[in-house]
Structure 1
Amino acid sequence: MPSGSSVLWLIAGLLLASNAIGRIQRWRHLRHIPGPPACGFTSLWWVWHCVTKTLHEDCKNLVETYGPVVRTGPNEVICADLDALQQISSVRSDYRKDDWYLLARVSPDKENLLCMRDPELRKDRKRRVKPGYTGEGHESFEHGIDKAIAHWIELIDRKYVGTGKAFRPLDLSKHSHFYAFDAQGEIAYSQSHGFLDSEQELHNILKITEFLMYFMLVLGNFSSIFYYVQKWPLNYLLPRDGDQSGFGVIRGYTTKLIDQRLEVGSTPKRDILQSFINQGLGRDELREELSLQFFVGTDTVASAIRMTILLLTSSPQSYQRLQAEIDDAASKDLIGAPIRDAEAGRLPYLQAVIRESLRLFPPSISSAFYKRVPKGGDNIHGYFLPEGTRVATGAVIYAMNRSKSIWCQDAQIFRPERWLEADGERLALLAKTLDMTFGHGQFACPGKTIAFMQLGKVIPELIRRYHISMVDAVKPVKLIPTVALLAHDQWVRLEKRPRANER
């Protein structure tokens, strides 16, 4: 009769053998896809490069080494082929969102547009929220953006304009976020959140957001964890209405505003919340959509503002050309103060600057955005992907936007002129590639219109009014690539310019 220790050794051996067999089977699943050898057996490659916050650069290196389709885990691949990504994301595609999107769930038992994986439910929700994001059927949200910009400009003029020896630096990494939070409040509820008034990180929002985004990035390949986090008893650790800091504060604030608007006899307003109500969204649906929007609609805009200013200040020729275009338009009474969205759209160099900045630094710089290969499998760029394979359609945007095969040898350089030089098929290729930054087809971001409107208004208002320079030209900003591109310590000096003609 075998001893107890022998039985234990036998069980341990069987477990190890079972684990080894399982890993070999998983390796065989995608053995024909090129990639780092270890990725066939473990997800640790992905996790490690998330921990080191270099995933965007590492995915770019993988694509340059192995080609547009690369294996990055036992059941994961990245795809940097434009035609394939459009095929995956097309309205008629059978690809579905993976469980990775549980990361975007605000409440354990409720869904918002981003985390919805059922295509029919998502289609219905998107149909009902679209008018709010595009301004259809109600007065444009441009007025709310103007209010937030005017508030920010007034604050800068009062406290941060340097003259001569006066040195009054402004931390653009924080202030761009303060503006974005307040603009989101004006657009969504016709009411500022008060970040610019306080000039403080209210309720530790930025600290908690940074931690959560890093947490979501690192654990994104283990989405099953989020099923358990949202179940009892761990769900008690999640944000709740009435919390004194973090996301729970925003949930409580949002809920209060929604309840006030839903009261019988309340005065309708012209904002996103009212549009959602008019489209039939119920209280719970309103809470989920607007709570998520607070973060998704602010991190991207703040990042784009920061990086556009950084790139312009590092390229004096581009900075001067943009200023000249704005000044010339103002002198000819072609733009007002504030500039209108339609007017900004008629400034070609401004539009080129915005596109070029988004190309080099897409706001969602390391997000996987996994999609599941449909039943029967699919052929992608000459490779067969079995049913259930997870395809990362987001983490490769940084690589695609810097690909020399698309953007030529100067792909790493900030050169807005490329958008003015290209035409016909060439311009269409550049535009289609950049558009993937905001998703495509059934997975396209509905907030793209708002993002471009804000950039088209904020950037010219800053450039027309101030000479902007980085306080530290050697280390102008500390970038933090999480799910979104965050930043610390982007100190700038602003000096007042002679005012251009304004109507």
Structure 2
Amino acid sequence: MPLQESLAHWGESLINSPRTIIFYLLSALFLINTAQRIRRWYRLWHIPGPWICGFTSLWLLRKCFGPRIDLSWKELVDKYGPVVRMAPNEIILADVDELLRIQSPRSVYRKDDWYLIGQINPPFHNLLSMQDKDVRRERKRKITPGYNGRGGDDFEQGLNKGIARWIELIERKYLSTPAEGKPLDLALHSHYYALDSLGEMAYSRQLGFLESDTDKHRILETNEKLMPVMFLFSNFIWLTKYLRYWPLVLLLPRDGDKSGFGAIMGFSSSIIDQRLAELAQQAKPKGDILQAFINEKLHPDALREEVTIQFFVGSDTTASLIRMTFLALLTNPRVYMTLQSEINNAANLSSPITATESRQLPYLQAVIRESLRFYPPVAAGVFYKDVPAEGDVLCDKYFLPGGTKVSTIAGLTALLRDKRVFGEDAECFWPERWIEAEKLLDGGEKLRLMTKSLDLCFGAGQFACPGKGIALMSAGKVIPELLRRYNFSILNPAEPMKLRGAVAWLAHDFWVRVEKRPVHITTGTNGLSESSGAMAREA
């Protein structure tokens, strides 16, 4: 039979030709891959965005290597609207009310596997990496009292000690004169201050970054190397999952390593072990964050997770707020002088300035708010939440099937520069917008809209950052304390700071000149020793 003979001939030639077999296999794989991509595209075909983002993650991958991915996300929002597709199953959301709904305590959205990048020592979890809502709620209940300072010593004492050490370091090594310049890297030393203050507040311990003027335990070096890798892995989370399995798990850092992340884990363990040993010997409990965790009966493994993540998430947030506020001030001379004048004219300020006094300086608070608006601490992260199985409708228009990943952070820069909320000059750094909004005769509606958007910088609802208050208090104290004592000027106006977004902001080479101001500060009762005399006003 001709047909049987043809089939037999075709089969014989196929067997005898490996190249033919490879060709058909590759063709089959190509067709399967194409079909899968078309299926993924069709699933969210109605969501606007660049056409290539419906088929591949290459657009997102390419932007991951850029310095300011948040600005790329803003461009998408500006062009396509508040709901944008940036990868086959990944959505940018830039609508305040929808973001608040998704993150509300009763929301059925869950943390995506993206959060596994925050898991330090599998199988244990910290608050950042936890995905189960009930388990996370219980952990948050136990650690929130520590971050709120309930039952502990005044956080300000720890902050005051950090401020005093930073001032002592500046006076000792970085005070420039007309005859000699001594450059200070504000990016580096703001992080030293954040870590030293964290050590005092969280562990009643002097970590010694400012005193030694070195990156002890190589925390910042590790952060600089680790964050870009984590950022890349977070957008291809299957890579992170495979690292959890043997034998690749052997490559992960572990407690006891001589350097890198493992060394930081070991340092965290030593802090906890020392405290537990002291308590076992009936030592008087300290009034710090760690003790509050222990009082809530947090398991030692949970303690290690929470303490280790503090060295990165906690210190990064505070350092970012301080350095980016200084960047905004030093690149806006009018704002700088206005703030310095407010500090000069404030009567009977303590030394250092107390948190209460800081909140009573309206222009200072406006500057901090405007700095947060311009440079949100984690605007370079995606922080995906998964759409529930039954799906959801965003902005009364876009249906998202279950399992779609919605970024609750990627649209933040676009939101915080929305001209409908912040005015036609939303792209300008202008702290006065906050003060003017308070004066409007609209019942405070304008200010409420602005504040509602800004509060998303630290998350909202069940996903709100517990350390928000500490970061704001720290910035509100250290910024005016430095400005009342010194004049700062940028050394490299063309590139004031090297900045890269990789979940958090990686900043370095923020070189400034620091000169003593011709003022006298009344001796305070908060830990700083100064010459007596009333604070003189600027000539």
Class of the TM-score when normalised by the shorter of the 2 chains: over 0.9
**1:302 lines up with 2:322 in the alignment:** no
Matches within 5 A, 1:6-85: 6-85=20-99
User: Among residues 290, 295, 303, which one is paired with 1:278 in the alignment?
Assistant: 295
Matches within 5 A, 1:420-459: 420-423=435-438, 424-459=444-479
- Listed one character per residue, the Cα deviations across residues 275-316 of structure 1 (whole Å, up to 9, x for unaligned) are 000111011111000100110011121111111111111212
1:338 corresponding residue in structure 2: 352
1:481 corresponding residue in structure 2: 501
Q: Equivalents in 2 of 1:268, 1:421: separation in Å?
A: 47
Q: Equivalents in 2 of 1:235, 1:369: separation in Å?
A: 24
2:531 corresponding residue in structure 1: none
**1:499 lines up with 2:516 in the alignment:** no
- 4+ residue stretches of structure 1 with deviation over 6 A? none
- Contact 1:108-1:231 at 8 Å conserved across structures: no
Aligned-pair CA distance for 1:165: 2.1
- Listed one character per residue, the Cα deviations across residues 372-416 of structure 1 (whole Å, up to 9, x for unaligned) are 001211110111111110001112112211222221121111111
What SS does the aligned partner of 1:303 have?
helix
Matches within 5 A, 1:158-169: 158-169=172-183
Q: Equivalents in 2 of 1:285, 1:23: separation in Å?
A: 41
Matches within 5 A, 1:150-165: 150-165=164-179
- Contact 2:41-2:88 at 8 Å conserved across structures: yes
Which amino acid counterpart does residue 416 of structure 1 have in structure 2? P
Q: Equivalents in 1 of 2:211, 2:264: separation in Å?
A: 17
- Listed one character per residue, the Cα deviations across residues 330-373 of structure 1 (whole Å, up to 9, x for unaligned) are xx21x200111111111111111111001101111210000000
Q: CA RMSD in A?
A: 1.3
2:535 corresponding residue in structure 1: none
Aligned-pair CA distance for 1:500: 4.5
**1:184 lines up with 2:198 in the alignment:** yes
- Listed one character per residue, the Cα deviations across residues 165-208 of structure 1 (whole Å, up to 9, x for unaligned) are 22111011111111111111111111122111221223432232
1:292 corresponding residue in structure 2: 309
Q: Equivalents in 2 of 1:407, 1:236: separation in Å?
A: 50
- Listed one character per residue, the Cα deviations across residues 408-460 of structure 1 (whole Å, up to 9, x for unaligned) are 12111111111101030100111110110100001100000110010011101
Q: Equivalents in 1 of 2:61, 2:297: separation in Å?
A: 41
User: Among residues 394, 405, 419, which one is paired with 2:434 in the alignment?
Assistant: 419
1:385 corresponding residue in structure 2: 400
Q: Equivalents in 2 of 1:482, 1:354: separation in Å?
A: 22
2:491 corresponding residue in structure 1: 471
User: Among residues 112, 125, 130, which one is paired with 2:126 in the alignment?
Assistant: 112
User: Among residues 482, 503, 516, which one is paired with 1:462 in the alignment?
Assistant: 482
Aligned-pair CA distance for 1:462: 0.8
Aligned length: 500
Q: Equivalents in 2 of 1:139, 1:183: separation in Å?
A: 14
User: Among residues 113, 129, 139, which one is paired with 1:99 in the alignment?
Assistant: 113
Q: Equivalents in 2 of 1:405, 1:285: separation in Å?
A: 44
Q: Equivalents in 2 of 1:231, 1:15: separation in Å?
A: 27
- Listed one character per residue, the Cα deviations across residues 133-191 of structure 1 (whole Å, up to 9, x for unaligned) are 01112222211111111000011012111122221110111111111111111111111
- Listed one character per residue, the Cα deviations across residues 1-49 of structure 1 (whole Å, up to 9, x for unaligned) are 4223333322222211111111111001100000000111111111110
Larger mean Cα displacement after TM superposition, 396-405 or 4-13: 4-13
Which amino acid counterpart does residue 399 of structure 2 have in structure 1? F
**1:371 lines up with 2:380 in the alignment:** no
User: Among residues 383, 394, 399, which one is paired with 2:409 in the alignment?
Assistant: 394
Which amino acid counterpart does residue 305 of structure 2 have in structure 1? E
What SS does the aligned partner of 2:381 have?
coil
Larger mean Cα displacement after TM superposition, 238-247 or 101-110: 238-247
- Contact 1:377-1:384 at 8 Å conserved across structures: yes
- Contact 1:304-1:455 at 8 Å conserved across structures: yes
Q: Equivalents in 1 of 2:30, 2:177: separation in Å?
A: 70
- Listed one character per residue, the Cα deviations across residues 107-131 of structure 1 (whole Å, up to 9, x for unaligned) are 1110000111000001011011001
**1:253 lines up with 2:276 in the alignment:** no
Task: Note the residue ranges of structure 1 that are not aligned, 5 or more in a row.
Answer: none
What SS does the aligned partner of 2:84 have?
strand
- Contact 1:47-1:219 at 8 Å conserved across structures: no
Which amino acid counterpart does residue 269 of structure 1 have in structure 2? K
1:221 corresponding residue in structure 2: 235
